[in-house]
Amino acid sequence: MELIVMDKDFTELGTIELFSSLQWNRKYYECGDYELHCSTDYFELLDSGTYLFRSGYELALIDSVDLSRSSTNESTTKVTGKFIESILNDRVCPGTKTYTGTHEAIARQCIDEYFISPTDTDRKFNYLSLGADGGYGTDTTLELKNDEIGDSVYTLLEEQELSQQIDYDYQTNTLKYQVWKGTDRTDDQDANTWAVFSDEFENITDTEYSKNISDYKNVAYVIGKNNVVCEVDQSNGERRREMTVTSTESDTAVLKSKGEQALTKYKTIEVFNGKIINSDNLVYRTGWDLGDLVTVINKQVNKILNIRITEIKEVFEDGEMKITPKFGSDYLSISNFIKREAGK
């Protein structure tokens, strides 16, 4: 594997061909990240770089470079950073603004307005353009209030199990923004090859399953301007679990959309983890990949789930690669919990 270090204008500064360990964490509903440990011989190169590119994979930013020495007098360079999508949080929406359209249309409008064709040219991010429109999503609204663009759009897209990415073209030094959706590889469809993971098939091991409904809500009362109240009821005859949401809008359609968005943040948490054993029928990045909807069977707890791969951790150590996927949505981090509560 070759890691290419580049400056802010994508000029190649050098390559890293040897390292002691690399964790490459690919994520679907948020920006991915990495951690690299290598020789101090690479310190100067990495310290002068802006981007780290793993050919055939994602482009990442070099956020921190640390030099450390152990008790045995061995020195190591540690590098961490996030994938290129993290630049989308470099822009904020000052004040309050409401967008309407499909999920993809709103995402593309935000990227164009804040990064590609901003009124203030100082906000323009060079090299970035919009890729092809995939026609994803349904009609909705997005209300921003002093929010970072990247996280807001990730949250919006998650409503439709969509994601966003910035593809880097090494040959042309260009960046293309796209909304995308993983492939349906469940055994309920016949358009694509199946990806079925089961301890019975011996293609997954060290499995863990968890379910939590303690935070679940299914009814939202959205209180808008002049105390206009809109009810969004998704209880479907089950036990009602209510919440309130505030908004500066008064339009019923906008309030309804805000309520629907709020409820997606208080959903049932169902997670399945395990280590994948590659086989001829299920090859990583060919037979299954990040974002794919797959079938997972756990005979021990008698569970059959059609669930999306939301994270893949690749760990390279001692010449070996271990792949650990995460199926389903995980629990909120403290930072995301604070953001969620602030948006109510």
Domain 87-181 has CATH 3.30.720.110: no
pLDDT in tens, 156-198: 999 999 999 999 999 999 999 999 999 999 999 999 999 999 8
Q: What is the DSSP letter of 292?
A: -
pLDDT in tens, 118-143: 999 999 999 999 999 999 999 999 98
pLDDT in tens, 274-290: 888 877 778 999 999 99
* SS3 of 237-285: CCCCCEEEEECCCCCHHHHHHHHHHHHHCCCCEEEEEEEECCCCCCCEC
Q: What is the pTM of this model?
A: 0.86
Contacts of 282 (CB under 8 A, 6+ apart): 195, 197, 203, 276, 288
Q: What is the DSSP letter of 121?
A: G
- Its sign, for the CA torsion 169, 172, 178, 180, is negative
